[in-house]
Amino acid sequence: MMRHAVVLCMVLLLLSNSLMGVSQKQNKRIGIQLWSVREDMKKDPEGTIRQLGEMGYVFVEAAGYDIG
């Protein structure tokens, strides 16, 4: 179940970047470990992923989120 949520979050992140017009020609591809925002992820996973996308993160490392 949690894997589905992580995949959904990653898709939302990519879509939010596309909808906001983030250029695919950027030189930097910046990511973040979801562990670093774990408290926010507990409260609002979708909102947290959306905010990360708005900040410019284009990928996430979801290590450990498959165990709930």
More confident residue, 10 or 27: 10
Chain position carrying tokens 């250029």 = 23
Q: Over range 25-46, report the average pLDDT.
A: 83
Residue 38 has pLDDT above 80, yes or no: yes
The torsion of the CA quartet 38, 44, 49, 54, rounded to 10 degrees, works out to: -110
**pLDDT at site 64:** 67
Residue 9 has pLDDT above 80, yes or no: no
Q: Which of 27, 24, 25, 46 is nearest to 37 (CA)?
A: 46
Residue 25 has pLDDT above 60, yes or no: no
Element (H, E) at 12: helix 2-19
